[in-house]
């Protein structure tokens, strides 16, 4: 039998003036007759981390039963549609976060498990974070080895927490003990990093001012490609490019709103939506696009910084988050902290929904992507770094023991879970900082 099929490399781009758009995985990128076998046998694995600040209210967060669970706790209830994709892990700790700079160490130790050097200057020192260990192993296969994102636009400098430099609270990710990787909070900057490729600033600005889409610059190349693809691939490309265009339109609308505002703009990037929730969702949408296009396989996202004074009047918490977190067991403050926890979790649920709705190979992006949601603090009232709030999410095809609550009998290093996630990415280390083993209970038996 003779099979005639267009064969495209996985790194296929649409190119035009000042723009490059990467394509999602298509059938045409896999050799004829073996597409299903190859994508099922060796799916691309991806790893993401979402950091939430200042711990949680443990009672409404923790599932009531250990082992198999059929319902989630009140703080996690928004994730119920993805119950079978989740593992809730309790009684993990960050032993090296116990210092006199508890907010700084909560943020800094979350992915490094290292006690940072106490300094207010530029001689800071921490450790290579787990995301960057993964990026070294798999980042060479993508255009961007790793993507570091956040929502806070002001990166403070100097002393931020009891003699600890602000860099420890500003940065989750460190590529070496002395090289922090600042997160990007401007959606326009992220979008252009993902899809921009050359072109002068004047060309880009002219396109924005005329409401042109970056996709308009690649129309000719897109038309040529579409004429060569099968019906299924044409549909995939169209849906993907529609998503790219919609994200870009949302950024442009945010820019136009900011430019029309009578309030002084100061130095705030104009592409940040006025609503923080819209900002978070836009950053999640950009993560989905980056993973779908295989621009990167490693992402960290700082939902908010430690010590955040953001208020949440839309959920009935007009007081700043940080003072609320020091609840001194006041029932009213505890209830408000639980509301903040549930709100942050609901936004994570938006990400899981988007990942689950995005096709990837023989499944969805959620099937082939592991995300860890968590904090470097347990009880924020006493700056405790034990019994951390941790949730691991991955679709049914990904091997996570979904619908489970793993409650360790004794305090267990978070580093154990980091080792297990590295294993799942095909990156094998004998140990990681203060690890005492591997949190293999999070996963079902897998062939890596």
Domain that holds residue 206: 1-42+191-271
Rounded Cα distance, 405 and 407, in Å: 6
Average pLDDT over the chain, rounded to whole? 80
Do 5 and 181 contact (CB within 8 A), yes or no? no
Q: What is the pLDDT of residue 136?
A: 92
124 pLDDT higher than 60: yes
Look up the pTM and report it: 0.79
Domain ends where: 271, 287, 302? 271
Q: Per the domain annotation, does 224 fall within a domain? A: yes
CATH number at residue 310: 3.40.720.10
Q: Per the domain annotation, does 51 fall within a domain? A: yes
Among 437, 391, 371, 293, residue whose Cα is nearest residue 47? 371
Span 238-294, pLDDT tens digits: 666 666 666 666 666 555 554 544 433 333 334 678 899 999 999 999 999 899 888
Span 63-111, pLDDT tens digits: 999 999 999 999 999 999 999 999 999 999 999 988 766 888 899 999 9
Q: Bridge-partner residues for 390, per DSSP?
A: 89, 374
Mean local confidence (pLDDT), 36-57 = 78
Whether residues 164 and 303 fall in one domain = yes
Burial class of residue 317 (count of CB atoms within 10 Å of its CB; 0-12, 13-18, 19+): buried
Whether residues 233 and 109 fall in one domain = no
pLDDT band at 363; cut points 50, 70, 90: confident
Q: How many domains does the chain have?
A: 2
């Amino acid at each position: 039998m003779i099979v005639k099929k267009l064969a495209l490399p996985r790194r296929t781009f649409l190119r035009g003036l000042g723009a490059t758009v990467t394509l999602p995985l298509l059938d045409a990128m896999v050799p004829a007759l073996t597409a299903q076998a190859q994508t099922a046998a060796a799916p691309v694995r991806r790893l993401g981390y979402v950091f939430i600040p200042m711990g949680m209210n443990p009672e409404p967060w923790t599932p009531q039963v250990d082992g198999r669970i059929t319902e989630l706790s009140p703080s996690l209830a928004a994730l119920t549609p993805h119950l079978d994709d989740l593992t809730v892990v309790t009684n993990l700790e960050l032993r090296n976060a116990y210092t006199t700079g508890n907010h700084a160490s909560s943020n800094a130790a979350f992915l490094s498990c290292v006690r940072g050097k106490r300094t207010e200057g530029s001689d800071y020192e921490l450790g290579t974070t787990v995301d960057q260990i993964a990026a070294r192993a798999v980042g060479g296969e993508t255009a961007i080895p790793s993507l570091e994102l956040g929502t806070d636009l002001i990166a403070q400098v100097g002393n931020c927490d009891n003699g600890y430099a602000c860099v420890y609270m500003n940065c989750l990710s460190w590529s070496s003990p002395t090289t922090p990787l600042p997160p990007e909070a401007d959606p326009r900057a992220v979008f252009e990093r993902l899809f921009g490729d050359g072109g002068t600033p004047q060309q880009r600005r002219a396109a924005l001012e005329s409401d042109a889409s970056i996709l308009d610059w690649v129309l000719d190349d897109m038309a040529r490609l579409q004429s060569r693809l099968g019906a299924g691939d044409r549909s995939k490309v169209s849906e993907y490019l529609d998503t790219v265009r919609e994200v870009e339109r949302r950024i442009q609308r945010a820019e136009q709103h900011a430019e029309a505002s009578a309030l002084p703009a100061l130095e705030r990037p104009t592409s940040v939506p006025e609503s923080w929730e819209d900002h978070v969702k836009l950053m999640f949408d950009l993560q989905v696009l980056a993973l779908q296009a295989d621009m990167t396989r490693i992402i960290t996202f700082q939902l908010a910084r430690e010590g955040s004074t953001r208020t949440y009047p839309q959920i009935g918490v007009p007081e700043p988050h940080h003072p609320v977190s020091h609840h001194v067991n006041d029932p009213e403050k505890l209830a408000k902290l639980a509301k903040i926890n549930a709100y942050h979790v609901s936004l994570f649920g938006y990400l899981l929904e988007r990942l689950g709705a995005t096709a990837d190979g023989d499944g969805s992006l959620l099937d082939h992507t592991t995300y860890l949601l968590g904090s470097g603090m347990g009880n924020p009232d006493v700056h405790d770094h034990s019994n951390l709030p941790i949730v691991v999410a991955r679709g049914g095809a990904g091997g996570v023991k979904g619908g489970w609550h793993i409650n360790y009998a004794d305090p267990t290093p978070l580093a154990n879970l980091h080792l297990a996630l590295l294993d799942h990415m095909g990156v094998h280390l004998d140990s990681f900082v203060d690890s005492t083993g591997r949190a293999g209970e999070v996963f079902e038996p897998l062939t890596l």
